[in-house]
């Protein structure tokens, strides 16, 4: 059984790309699970637009497999604009 003290750290190779939509805003998040991706996107949304007491924005998520190998997965967890993620994918090919 794993306890919080013995839980192994998440490797960047374990992170998957997720496209998240909150209030018609689309972003890309790197996380191990859909729920974690939704939480990261919600937290980023609150940082950008503020948080109203008791309000939880609806975050719809789906896999974004083409972005799985983006170098942004090595960055601290946050929501990224889809165009920015695409630009980093092109930079990886040069």
Q: Is residue 40 part of a domain?
A: yes
Residues 2-45: tens digit of each pLDDT: 555 655 555 656 899 999 999 899 999 999 999 999 999 999 99
**Total number of domains in the chain:** 1
Q: Is residue 5 part of a domain?
A: no
Compute the distance between CA of residue 28 and CA of residue 17 in angstroms, rounded to an integer.
Answer: 7
Q: What is the DSSP letter of 20?
A: E
Q: What is the DSSP letter of 8?
A: P
pLDDT confidence band for 94 (50 / 70 / 90)? very low
Residue 13, pLDDT score: 66
Check whether 93 has a pLDDT greater than 80. no
Check whether 75 has a pLDDT greater than 90. yes
Q: Is residue 4 part of a domain?
A: no
Q: What is the DSSP letter of 12?
A: G
Q: Is residue 7 part of a domain?
A: no
Containing structural domain, residue 51: 12-93
Q: What's the whole-model pTM score?
A: 0.80
């Amino acid at each position: 059984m794993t306890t919080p003290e013995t839980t192994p750290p998440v490797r960047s190779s374990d992170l998957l790309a997720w496209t998240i939509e909150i209030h018609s805003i689309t972003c890309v998040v790197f996380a191990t699970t859909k729920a974690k991706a939704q939480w990261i996107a919600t937290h980023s949304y609150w940082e950008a637009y503020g948080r109203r007491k008791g309000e939880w924005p609806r975050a719809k998520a789906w896999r974004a497999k083409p972005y799985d190998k983006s170098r942004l997965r090595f960055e601290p967890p946050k929501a990224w604009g889809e165009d920015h993620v695409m630009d980093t994918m092109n930079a990886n090919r040069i």
